[in-house]
């Protein structure tokens, strides 16, 4: 991983914490690491309390996946809890709609998610699961059309 980092100089490398058995290895690597909150299919790292255990102990950033928050609560409450607790540690948002998992926002019409990321100064990664280029364009235009400060 160090060689890949040296070649590409990633700003951050995102990990799912449920796949990590020794967080110290990542700390010792010196890599720019972020941990992502997990969805409702996972047993851990879904709540603010679970993520706090990692972020209090290790110098990692965080990727806040809004879809995963929705899968765990069905509304914006968990999104806001994460933001209120970890605002300074959140390096990226993963943005997609929620009906099942990473649904296109142009289908779910969950504009509150677009509104939330727009009001923050944090980069966004669109993580919607799309079938083809037409859907990609539709999703992109839907998001851009719903941003007010573009």
Query: From CA 22, how far away is CA 78, in angstroms rounded?
Result: 27
Q: Tell me the mean pLDDT per 10 residues along the chain, length 150.
A: 82 94 94 95 95 96 96 92 97 94 94 92 94 95 82
**66 with 39: CB under 8 angstroms?**
no
Q: Which residues contact 3 (CB under 8 A, 6 or more apart)?
A: none
Q: Is the pTM of this model over 0.85?
A: yes
Given strand 13-15, what is the order of strands in its sheet? 13-15, 33-36, 61-65, 90-95, 124-126
Q: Angle at CA 39, nearest 5°, toward 18 and 143?
A: 125
- Range of the structural domain that residue 14 is part of: 2-146
Per-residue model confidence (pLDDT) at position 57? 96
End-to-end CA distance of the chain: 36
Res 74: pLDDT: 86
Phi, psi (5° rounding) for residue 33? -105, 140
The full length of the chain comes to 150
Number of domains into which the chain is organized: 1
Looking up residue 47, the CATH number of its domain turns out to be 3.20.20.150
pLDDT confidence of residue 96: 95
Residue 149, pLDDT score: 62
């Amino acid at each position: 991983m160090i060689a890949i980092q040296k070649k590409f100089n990633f700003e951050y490398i995102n990990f799912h914490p449920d796949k990590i058995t020794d967080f110290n290895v990542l700390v010792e690597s010196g890599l720019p690491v972020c941990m992502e909150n997990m969805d409702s299919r996972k047993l851990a790292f879904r709540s603010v309390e679970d993520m706090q255990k990692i972020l209090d102990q290790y110098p990692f950033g965080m990727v806040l996946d809004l879809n995963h928050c929705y899968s765990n609560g069905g509304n914006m409450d968990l999104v806001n809890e994460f933001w209120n607790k970890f605002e300074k540690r959140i390096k990226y948002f993963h943005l997609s709609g929620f009906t099942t998992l990473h649904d296109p926002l142009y289908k779910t019409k969950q504009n509150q998610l677009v509104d939330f990321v727009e009001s923050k100064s944090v980069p966004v990664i669109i993580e919607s699961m799309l079938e083809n280029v037409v859907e990609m364009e539709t999703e992109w235009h839907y998001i851009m059309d719903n941003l007010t400060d573009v």
